[in-house]
């Protein structure tokens, strides 16, 4: 039997094969590296919202407390977004005819909900509970960053499992007295770890690291 | 077969094949153990599978392209948030549901406005916290895409097709009808209602009859309890209800009565009975339960003594019993020789025991029995029953005729052309009316007929109007529980498909169309609940609590004289065991029993269809139950299609050779074989075959007991049942090993045996505690265990299940399915061992196949301390938590199934398929199903292992709640779904680190034992051995001998 020879037309693929052999690993490496970038894990994700609501204005300048609008953070797993009626409490009087507020007025008048885009979106198999953290003294800014500086909200923390576990394994640096949870730019005199340890002791805080704590 | 060693436990007849004397059963083996060679050759019904409901659908995150960055999810807050509503925090509402003329008080969990779980209302005096499978599964019906969505109408009875209409059309028709009726005085107008206890509906009925005096209102229920009411009318001269208080009874005798199963007061019975069955309690003794029945019931399953006896023989048995009791327990000659010595012995002991506990005894008779048997029982109760243990009240509707008379009258009028307009409120008479009446034929003579029904079913197809009926979680209403407690139903959700309730339909006929149903119910409340003042505040309180005080009048009296009809020829034959008094084919007895779909109304409920029947373990079917000896005598085989005929009426269905079924009595479960139930239960016009077989054709009359007339003929055709009995048996060796081990799995003793030897559960067991073993030479810890000891500083969860209390009602199985988003897999997949129930109830027989004793054992994840599953997972998807749970992490699982293979309890379940694999599941029509899911639990997908987590979502939520409130968790604050559903409190859950907790207390009881303890898995779940209380004069319960092995 004659020796098999590749037909001539395959010649032109030779360099592609070489390229694939050399480039493939490089590509995979790049892909892996990219997977770890903040962009891929959504850090910094800042979608456009239907209403240009400014946390910088309301929280930063006017000094509203987080709980003024997100009323459920210490009672519910969800930090519920306020209903349109809530906005209208003030905006029926203040800037009552601003064009930017038209969607809010529409929602209030028709009952059709405003369609906010979720910024902090955990996977469906993760069960996070706001109340469990807020009542224990985990500050809002620990996970959400300086909301009072954000014109439009973006994802501040990576929200990866490793990031969650870092704190669950060593919560002290992120704990503050429960009365201070909504404080932005919390900077107490003294060592944060010491304060955290004191809070931890007072409130019997033992963050579990079981799988079923978040996955069930 | 009676030569069988009494100590042997077995799961099904197939297990017995190699016992000496059981050669004839050998032929079963091939049928009973699924042959995997067949697995690929058999084309399974894709159609049904595609349309199965209740299966999982990926919940959110349906973005299509997984892996795309920045999946867009939206938050849509309501425009105004209702006061007191916190998004994401479930709310609980009290409401009610009605099944077959009795209500149950419900507690419904609603998540952001959608009901997702139904339980018993713990504050309700009749229902209590427990529930039954129907209550649990009723929430699935709410989101059933097959429920009808529009009013449908035909131009006349001869027109072929239904056209979609609107409620406006109906309102117009109702106005016109009212006008005509006002002129004619209601002539030719009839209403046929399913049994209803709603005082509001009863008020509307009275209004209709007052306004249109010639109109008539009828009531029909296929599984009617009216024979009891009529029997008490015979005995006391007025229709009454009998109420049993089993906690106050010392001796209970149930005759064909399933006190814990299909009785409307079963939940209270179970609770009360369990209270009197605590061998460790302070009570002087345990109550004793006797059951005499033709087909195995839950009551027979928990009874201390059970006698299989043809239903028709209950009458002579009771006559003889009465005589013997009157003979003061002496051996008074019984009026009838019932046949075997076994029966006579049983009778003598029962009579003696009843007479001895005069004043604390109860005799109960089931609804299948004819009225005079109930009257007989009333007479015996007057002899031995105490006022505490048994009470009578007036019937809430004393003036209505019994159902069978009522329906017969209506059909006669329809046939003679005397009915122009028929309004059918619920029910499905075309399917479930006795075939002798030919309801469908009579209906064709009615000019205009309305059918209010949740589904466009068999009856709707033949009526000129179909009106979609609102689900009980969608409508205002009221009802009475069996004990008479006035119960209020409030809607938890707006009608999803715009359907309406019976009240909302009938009100249009009395000119009250504009009054909302809520106001009508409130009006009734004002008139009824006078004790509470009836004001607005009292109303709000009643709605909140779900019930109000408005009781039935108690009745005290003694039964009068009445004559008992002479015995029939087959009754005179006795048990038919002897040669000279044999029962021939053609003289067989037939009883009609409820199937898993009850009377057919739950036929489209996939949860109920897939729950294995407690006795047969059959899913997705109904089978004729025949005793092994009878099957042999008739020459029919297990899983053979047989033809049952009574006179010239015939029905074909599959035979199930059922141990413990009375000889020459055949039980036929009604409620299957529906042709227009829906895509689950059968929808012939859409190519979906019915589930099971319709036995309606042989049910010529309303009676549920047809003595001495049936003939059975085998057809030789084999039919495959999907029963979970023999699942997981591999081969002959496996079967043998399993059988050898059963006595280690279920432990039982008599009360006397337990008191004599409290530690009987460890007797004979070889279960050294490796953790504490010491080296005999040095007395130092031997350190035999390969496992690292876990430390529990916080909580240490534990659970116990008391086998003395489990009645096998299946409520826990459905509750678990509902709570944990457990998918339904369908008949084919059940046959392939792929059922997904996290909690199963194992049922074991013991003793003579003609008269076996039953033990039930609920098995869920045992949460082992040294869990075999954890050791073999290559990806750490199942891990030990520091509270002692074996956590299962779905998002880590890669589906190797090692854990399943290494689990000795077989409690892990693998998603072999994505149970929503086919496109139809995502169709817009079926989307409504997604509302059903419990948002606290991940919906699993294909290739993932899953198992019981002890409702870890509930544990976490209570922990968070307690911590938020800066307090420790109270004992009993965390309840698992199965525990909550259990009417007898057989299941306890709590913290073992808390010495004073109930679960720790129960785990310390001497009768606590772990399943397969010799494997050193050290389960965190323990069973409490079953303790029975047999009468010393009857053959000692076989378990006693075993206990001292």
Reduce the secondary structure of B759-787 to three states and give it as a string.
CCCCCCCCCCCHHHCECCCCCCECCCCCC
Length of chain B: 1045
Q: Are residues B407 and B372 in the same domain?
A: no
Q: Which residue has the higher pLDDT, A63 or B3?
A: A63
Identify the pLDDT of residue B914.
77
In a structure prediction context, what are the per-residue pLDDT tens digits for chain A, which is 216 residues long?
678 888 888 888 888 888 888 888 999 999 888 877 766 777 888 888 999 999 999 999 999 999 999 999 999 999 989 999 999 999 999 998 899 999 999 999 998 989 999 999 888 899 999 999 999 999 999 999 999 999 999 999 988 899 999 999 999 999 999 999 999 999 888 899 999 999 999 888 999 999 999 998
Q: Which residue has the higher pLDDT, A165 or B83?
A: A165
Show which of B723, B740, B758 is a domain's final residue. Answer: B723
pLDDT over 50 (residue B32)? no
Query: B143 in a domain, yes or no?
Result: no
Rounded (10°) CA dihedral B64, B66, B69, B72: 40
CA distances from B838 to B843, B860, B939 (A): 16, 6, 14
pLDDT over 50 (residue B928)? yes
Mean pLDDT is lowest, of A159-168, B11-20, B243-252, B281-290, for B11-20
Query: A37 in a domain, yes or no?
Result: no
pLDDT over 50 (residue B919)? no
pLDDT mean over B481-488 = 91
Distance CA A33, CA B778 (A): 58
Show which of B361, B394, B427 is a domain's final residue. Answer: B394
Query: B111 in a domain, yes or no?
Result: no
Distance CA B409, CA B414 (A): 9
Which residues of chain B neighbour A165 with C-beta distances below 8 Å? none
Distance CA A32, CA B749 (A): 63
Taking CA atoms, what residue in A is nearest to B67? A40
Q: Is A82 on the interface with B (CB under 8 A)?
A: yes
pLDDT over 50 (residue B68)? no
Beta-carbon separation of B79 and A107 below 8 A: yes
Q: Pick A132's closest partner by Cβ from B74, B881, B964.
A: B964
Identify the pLDDT of residue B43.
38
CA proximity to B555, closest of B401, B676, B394, B402: B394
Which residues of chain B neighbour A136 with C-beta distances below 8 Å? 963
**What token pair was written down for B709?**
């007339």
pLDDT mean over B827-835 = 88
CA distance A6 to chain B (A): 39
Sequence-distant (≥ 6) Cβ neighbours of residue B207 within 8 angstroms: B510
CA distance B993 to chain A (A): 17
Q: Is A77 on the interface with B (CB under 8 A)?
A: yes
Q: Are residues B705 and B824 in the same domain?
A: no
Domain with B478 in it: 151-224+402-554
Q: Measure the CA angle with vertex B253, ends B250 and B257; round to 5°.
A: 130
Query: A192 in a domain, yes or no?
Result: yes
Which residues of chain B neighbour A41 with C-beta distances below 8 Å? none
Beta-carbon separation of A112 and B79 below 8 A: yes
CA proximity to B266, closest of B425, B132, B463: B132
Query: B81 in a domain, yes or no?
Result: no
Q: Pick A124's closest partner by Cβ from B59, B87, B960.
A: B59
The DSSP call for residue B568 is: P
CA proximity to B492, closest of B547, B540, B543, B541: B543
The DSSP call for residue B500 is: B
Q: Are residues B357 and B427 in the same domain?
A: no
CATH value at residue B678: 2.40.40.20
Which one of A70, A75, A80, A154 would you mutate to disrupt binding with B, by most B Cβ within 10 Å of its Cβ? A80
Rounded (10°) CA dihedral A41, A43, A47, A52: 160
Distance CA B472, CA A152 (A): 46
Identify the pLDDT of residue B693.
95
Q: Are residues B769 and B840 in the same domain?
A: yes
Backbone angles phi, psi at B667, to 5 degrees: -100, 125
Q: Which residue has the higher pLDDT, B46 or B542?
A: B542
Distance CA B787, CA B789 (A): 6
pLDDT mean over B620-646 = 93
DSSP notation for A138-151: B-HHHHH--GGG-S
User: Which tens digit of pLDDT belongs to each residue from B112-155?
Assistant: 889 999 999 999 999 988 999 999 999 999 999 899 999 998 87
Backbone angles phi, psi at B170, to 5 degrees: -65, -45
- Out of A93-97, B38-42, B104-108, give the one with best mean pLDDT: B104-108
Distance CA B418, CA B214 (A): 11
Strands (E), B405-464: 421-425, 448-453
Distance CA B566, CA B575 (A): 17
User: Which tens digit of pLDDT belongs to each residue from B568-590?
Assistant: 888 888 887 777 778 889 899 99
Q: B119, B106 in Cβ contact below 8 A? A: yes
The residues in A 128-157 lying below 8 A from B, measured between CB atoms, are 129, 131-132, 135-136
Reported ipTM: 0.86
Taking CA atoms, what residue in B is nearest to A44? B70
Q: Are residues B299 and B416 in the same domain?
A: no
pLDDT over 50 (residue B673)? yes
Identify the pLDDT of residue A45.
84
Query: B64 in a domain, yes or no?
Result: no
pLDDT mean over B53-80 = 55
Distance CA B836, CA B821 (A): 10
CATH value at residue B753: 3.30.70.20
Show which of B697, B723, B749 is a domain's final residue. Answer: B723
Band (pLDDT 50/70/90 cuts) for residue B184 is very high
Report CA Rg, chain A. 25
User: Which tens digit of pLDDT belongs to each residue from B805-819?
Assistant: 999 999 999 999 999
Q: Pick B88's closest partner by Cβ from A76, A121, A215.
A: A76
Taking CA atoms, what residue in A is nearest to B68? A40
Strands (E), B689-786: 705-718, 722-723, 748-750
CA proximity to B585, closest of B640, B638, B642: B642
Identify the pLDDT of residue B506.
94
Identify the pLDDT of residue B745.
86
Q: Pick A135's closest partner by Cβ from B882, B891, B964.
A: B964
CA distance B492 to chain A (A): 21
Distance CA B22, CA B827 (A): 30
Identify the pLDDT of residue B284.
65
Q: Are residues B256 and B295 in the same domain?
A: yes
Q: Are residues B319 and B464 in the same domain?
A: no
Identify the pLDDT of residue B340.
74
Number of domain units in chain A:
1
Which residues of chain B neighbour A153 with C-beta distances below 8 Å? none
Identify the pLDDT of residue B134.
95
What 3-state DSSP class applies to B637? coil
Band (pLDDT 50/70/90 cuts) for residue B848 is confident
Q: Are residues B230 and B219 in the same domain?
A: no
Q: B669, B623 in Cβ contact below 8 A? A: yes
Using a pLDDT cut of 90, give the percent of chain B over it: 59
Which residues of chain A neighbour B935 with C-beta distances below 8 Å? none
pTM metric for this prediction? 0.90
Tokens 């004839």, located at residue: B24
Mean pLDDT is lowest, of B28-37, B475-484, B593-602, B942-951, for B28-37
Distance CA B286, CA B273 (A): 10
Beta-carbon separation of A81 and B953 below 8 A: no
CA proximity to B45, closest of B685, B671, B825: B825
Beta-carbon separation of A81 and B75 below 8 A: yes
Q: Are residues B355 and B249 in the same domain?
A: yes
Q: Name the strands in the sheet holding B554-555, side by side, starting at the edge strand that comes first in the sequence.
A: B240-244, B390-394, B554-555
Identify the pLDDT of residue B791.
86
Sequence-distant (≥ 6) Cβ neighbours of residue B235 within 8 angstroms: B374, B375, B378, B379, B559, B560, B562
pLDDT over 90 (residue B837)? yes
Neighbouring C-alpha atoms within 13 Å toward the C-beta of B545: 15
User: Which tens digit of pLDDT belongs to each residue from B196-238?
Assistant: 999 999 999 999 999 999 999 999 999 999 999 999 999 999 9
Query: B71 in a domain, yes or no?
Result: no
Q: B370, B376 in Cβ contact below 8 A? A: no
Query: B83 in a domain, yes or no?
Result: no
Number of domain units in chain B:
4
User: Which tens digit of pLDDT belongs to each residue from B375-418?
Assistant: 999 999 998 877 788 999 998 888 899 999 999 999 999 999 99
Which residues of chain B neighbour A216 with C-beta distances below 8 Å? 936-938, 949, 952-953, 956
Identify the pLDDT of residue B533.
62
Band (pLDDT 50/70/90 cuts) for residue B731 is low
Q: Is A175 on the interface with B (CB under 8 A)?
A: no
Q: B658, B678 in Cβ contact below 8 A? A: no
Query: B116 in a domain, yes or no?
Result: no
Q: Pick B86's closest partner by Cβ from A76, A85, A127.
A: A76
Q: Are residues B892 and B756 in the same domain?
A: yes
What 3-state DSSP class applies to B924? helix
pLDDT mean over B482-497 = 92
Domain with A185 in it: 55-81+116-214
pLDDT mean over B543-547 = 93
Q: Are residues B205 and B241 in the same domain?
A: no
User: Which tens digit of pLDDT belongs to each residue from B593-611?
Assistant: 999 999 999 999 999 999 9
Identify the pLDDT of residue B142.
94
Q: Are residues B267 and B180 in the same domain?
A: no
CATH value at residue B306: 3.40.228.10
Q: Is A110 on the interface with B (CB under 8 A)?
A: yes
Tokens 């009938």, located at residue: B506
Mean residue pLDDT across chain B: 86
Q: B680, B609 in Cβ contact below 8 A? A: yes
Backbone angles phi, psi at B371, to 5 degrees: -50, -40
Burial B549-584 (b: 16+ CB within 10 A, else e): ebebeebeeebeebebeebeebbebbbbbeeeeebe
Q: Measure the CA angle with vertex B213, ends B211 and B218; round to 5°.
A: 105
């Amino acid at each position: 039997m004659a020796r098999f020879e590749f037909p001539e037309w395959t010649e032109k693929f030779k360099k592609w094969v070489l390229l694939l052999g050399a480039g493939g690993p490089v590509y995979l490496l790049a892909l892996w590296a990219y997977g770890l970038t903040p962009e891929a894990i959504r850090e910094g994700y800042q979608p456009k919202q239907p209403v240009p609501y400014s946390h910088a204005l309301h929280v930063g300048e006017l000094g509203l407390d987080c709980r003024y609008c997100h009323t459920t953070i210490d009672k519910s797993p969800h930090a519920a977004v306020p209903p349109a009626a809530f906005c209208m409490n003030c905006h029926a009087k203040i800037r009552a005819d601003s064009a930017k507020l038209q969607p809010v007025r529409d929602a209030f008048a028709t009952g059709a909900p405003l369609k906010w885009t979720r910024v902090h979106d955990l996977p469906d198999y993760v069960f996070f509970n706001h109340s469990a953290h807020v009542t224990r003294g985990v500050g809002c800014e620990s996970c959400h960053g300086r909301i009072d500086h954000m014109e439009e909200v973006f994802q501040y923390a990576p929200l990866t499992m490793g990031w969650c576990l870092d704190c669950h394994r060593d919560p002290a640096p992120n704990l503050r007295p429960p009365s201070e949870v909504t404080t932005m730019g919390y900077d107490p005199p003294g060592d944060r770890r010491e304060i955290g340890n004191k809070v931890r002791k007072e409130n019997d805080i033992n963050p579990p690291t079981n799988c079923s704590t978040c996955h069930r | 077969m009676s030569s069988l060693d009494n100590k042997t436990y077995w799961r099904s007849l197939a297990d017995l094949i190699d016992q000496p004397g059981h050669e004839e059963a050998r032929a079963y083996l091939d049928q009973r153990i699924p042959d995997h060679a067949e697995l690929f050759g058999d084309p399974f019904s894709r159609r049904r599978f595609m349309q199965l409901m209740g299966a999982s659908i990926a919940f959110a995150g349906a973005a299509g392209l997984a892996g795309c960055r920045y999946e867009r999810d939206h938050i849509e807050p309501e425009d105004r948030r209702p006061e007191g509503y916190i998004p994401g925090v479930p709310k609980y509402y009290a409401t009610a549901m009605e099944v077959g003329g009795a209500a149950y008080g419900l507690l419904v969990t609603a998540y952001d406005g959608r009901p997702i779980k139904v339980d018993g209302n713990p504050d309700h005096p009749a229902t209590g916290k427990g529930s039954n499978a129907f209550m649990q599964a009723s929430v699935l019906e709410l989101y059933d895409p097959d429920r009808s969505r529009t009013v449908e109408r035909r131009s006349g009875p001869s027109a072929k097709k239904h056209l979609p209409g609107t409620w406006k059309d109906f309102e117009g028709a109702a106005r016109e009808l009212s006008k005509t009726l006002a002129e004619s005085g209601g002539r030719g107008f009839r209403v046929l209602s399913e049994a209803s206890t709603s005082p509001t509906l009863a008020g509307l009925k009275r209004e209709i009859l007052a306004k249109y005096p010639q109109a008539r209102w009828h009531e029909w229920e296929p599984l009617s309890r009216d024979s009891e009411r009529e029997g008490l009318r015979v005995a006391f001269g007025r229709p009454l209800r009998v109420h049993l208080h089993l906690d106050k009874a010392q001796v209970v005798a149930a005759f064909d009565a399933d006190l814990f199963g299909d009785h409307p007061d079963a939940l209270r019975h179970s609770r009360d009975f369990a209270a009197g069955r605590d061998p460790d309690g302070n009570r002087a003794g345990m109550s004793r339960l006797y059951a005499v029945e033709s087909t195995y019931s839950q009551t027979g399953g928990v009874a201390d003594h059970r006698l299989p006896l043809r239903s028709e023989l209950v009458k002579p048995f009771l006559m003889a019993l009465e005589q013997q009791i009157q003979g003061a327990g002496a051996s008074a000659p019984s009026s009838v020789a019932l046949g075997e010595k076994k029966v006579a012995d049983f009778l003598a002991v029962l009579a003696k025991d009843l007479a001895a506990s005069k004043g604390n005894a109860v005799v109960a008779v089931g609804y299948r029995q004819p009225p005079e048997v109930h009257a007989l029982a009333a007479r015996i109760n007057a002899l031995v029953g105490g006022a505490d243990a048994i009470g009578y009240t007036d019937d809430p509707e004393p003036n209505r005729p019994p159902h069978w008379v009522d329906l017969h009258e209506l059909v006669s009028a329809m046939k003679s052309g005397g009915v122009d307009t028929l309004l059918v409120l619920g029910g499905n008479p075309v399917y479930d009316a006795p075939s002798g009446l030919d309801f469908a034929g009579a209906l064709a003579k009615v000019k205009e007929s309305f059918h209010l029904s949740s589904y466009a079913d068999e009856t709707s197809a033949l009526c000129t109007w179909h009106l979609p009926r609102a689900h009980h979680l969608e409508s205002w209403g009221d009802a009475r529980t069996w004990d008479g407690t006035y119960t209020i139903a409030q809607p938890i959700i707006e009608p999803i498909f715009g359907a309406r309730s019976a009240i909302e339909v009938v009100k249009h006929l009395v000119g009250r169309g504009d009054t909302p149903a809520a106001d009508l119910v409130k009006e009734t409340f004002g008139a009824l609940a006078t004790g509470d003042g009836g004001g607005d505040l009292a109303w709000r309180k009643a709605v909140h609590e779900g019930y109000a005080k408005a009781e039935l009048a108690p009745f005290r009296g003694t039964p009068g004289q009445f004559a008992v009809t002479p015995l029939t020829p087959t009754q005179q034959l006795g048990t038919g065991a002897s040669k000279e008094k044999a029962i021939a084919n053609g003289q067989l007895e037939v009883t009609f029993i409820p199937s898993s779909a009850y009377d057919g109304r739950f036929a489209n409920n996939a949860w109920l269809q897939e729950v294995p029947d407690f006795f047969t373990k059959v899913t997705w079917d109904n089978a004729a139950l025949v005793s092994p000896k009878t099957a042999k005598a008739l020459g029919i085989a297990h899983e053979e299609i047989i033809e049952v005929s009574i006179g010239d009426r015939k029905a074909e269905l599959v035979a199930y050779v059922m141990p413990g079924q009375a000889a020459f009595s055949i039980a036929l479960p009604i409620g299957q074989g529906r042709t227009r139930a829906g895509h689950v239960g059968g929808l012939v016009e859409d190519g979906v075959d019915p589930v099971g077989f319709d036995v309606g054709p042989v049910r010529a009359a309303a009676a549920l007991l047809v003595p001495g007339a049936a003939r059975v003929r085998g057809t030789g055709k084999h039919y495959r049942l999907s029963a979970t009995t023999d699942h997981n048996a591999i081969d002959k060796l496996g079967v043998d090993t399993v059988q050898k081990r059963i006595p280690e799995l279920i432990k039982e003793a008599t009360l006397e045996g337990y008191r004599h030897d409290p530690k009987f559960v460890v007797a004979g067991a070889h279960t050294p505690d490796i953790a504490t073993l010491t080296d005999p030479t040095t007395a130092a810890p031997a350190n035999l265990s390969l496992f690292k000891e876990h430390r529990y500083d916080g909580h240490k969860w534990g659970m116990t299940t008391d086998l003395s209390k489990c009645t096998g009602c299946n409520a826990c199985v459905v509750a678990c399915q509902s709570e944990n988003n457990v998918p339904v897999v369908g008949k084919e997949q059940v046959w392939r061992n792929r059922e997904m129930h996290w909690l199963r109830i194992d049922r074991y027989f013991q003793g003579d196949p003609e008269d076996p004793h039953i033990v039930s054992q609920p098995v869920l994840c045992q949460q082992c301390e040294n869990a075999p599953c954890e050791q073999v997972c290559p990806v750490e998807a199942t891990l030990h938590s520091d509270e002692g749970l074996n956590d299962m992490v779905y998002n880590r699982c890669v589906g190797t199934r090692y854990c399943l293979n290494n689990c000795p309890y077989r409690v892990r379940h693998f998603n072999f398929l994505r149970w929503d694999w086919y496109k139809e599941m995502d169709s817009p029509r079926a989307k409504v199903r997604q509302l059903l899911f419990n948002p606290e639990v991940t919906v699993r997908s294909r290739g993932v292992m899953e198992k019981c987590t002890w409702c870890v979502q509930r544990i976490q939520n209570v922990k968070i709640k307690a911590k938020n409130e800066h307090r420790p968790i109270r004992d009993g604050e965390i309840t698992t779904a199965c525990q909550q559903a259990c009417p007898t409190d057989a299941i306890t859950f709590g913290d073992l680190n808390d010495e004073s907790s109930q679960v720790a207390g129960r785990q310390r009881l001497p009768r606590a034992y772990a399943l397969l303890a010799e494997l050193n898995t050290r389960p965190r779940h323990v069973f409490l051995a079953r303790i029975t209380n047999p009468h010393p004069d009857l053959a000692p319960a076989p378990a006693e001998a075993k206990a001292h092995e």
